[in-house]
Amino acid sequence: MKTINQLQTKPSSRYDSFDPDQEGNKNTKFADIIIDGRSLYQMLKRHDMVPSLGWGSEEHQRKMINYFLLNQMHEYLYYRYPILVCPWCGDEECGFISVFIEKEEDLIIWRDFKREPSNKVIDVGPFYFKSDEYEKVINETFGIAGIQ
C-alpha cells in the first residue's frame, strides 16, 4: 500500500524579512510546495532554486500549471517537468530541478527528482497525491505571488 501524501501550497519568498542575504539579491516570491507539512523549497534550498509555480507572467504560470496537471507535455523533457528553477529569471537554461510526473489510476506520482542539466539524482520522493485534491491545489497556485 502506497502512502498518500498531502499537498498544499502557500505564498513564500526566497528570503525572510530579517535575512541579510536578501540585500542586493532578488527576493523572488513564489508558491511554496508543502508536502506532508514540509516545504519542498526548504528541503532543496541548498540548490539555490525556487519553485516554478505561482510567479512569472500569466502565460508562464498557465504553462507551468498545464505541465503539472499533465495537460501539456514539456517540449523536450516530455514527462519530466521543472519543479524548481532559477530565482532570478525562471529560465531552464540557468539549470533547474526536474521531476517525473505520472498519473496512475486516481493518483498523481512525483518521482525521480534530478538536478539538470547534469542529470544528478536528488534523493527525495516519491510522492503520491490523490488526483482530485492535487488538481485543486495546483490550480490555486495561479497568481499566488502576482503576475510579473
Structural domain that includes position 60: 48-148
54 with 145: CB under 8 angstroms?
Answer: yes
Query: Is residue 33 one of the residues assigned to a domain?
Result: no
Query: Is residue 3 one of the residues assigned to a domain?
Result: no
CB neighbourhood size of 125 (10 A): 17
Mean pLDDT of 20-49: 86
Query: Is residue 11 one of the residues assigned to a domain?
Result: no
Query: Is residue 23 one of the residues assigned to a domain?
Result: no
28 with 16: CB under 8 angstroms?
Answer: no
pLDDT tens sequence across 93-135: 899 999 999 999 999 999 999 999 899 999 999 999 999 999 9
pTM of the entire structure? 0.89
Query: Is residue 143 one of the residues assigned to a domain?
Result: yes
Helices assigned H by DSSP within 32-123: 40-43, 58-68
pLDDT tens sequence across 40-97: 999 999 998 999 999 999 999 999 999 999 999 998 888 899 999 998 888 888 999 9
- What is the chain's mean pLDDT, rounded? 90
Q: How many domains does the chain have?
A: 1
Query: Is residue 18 one of the residues assigned to a domain?
Result: no
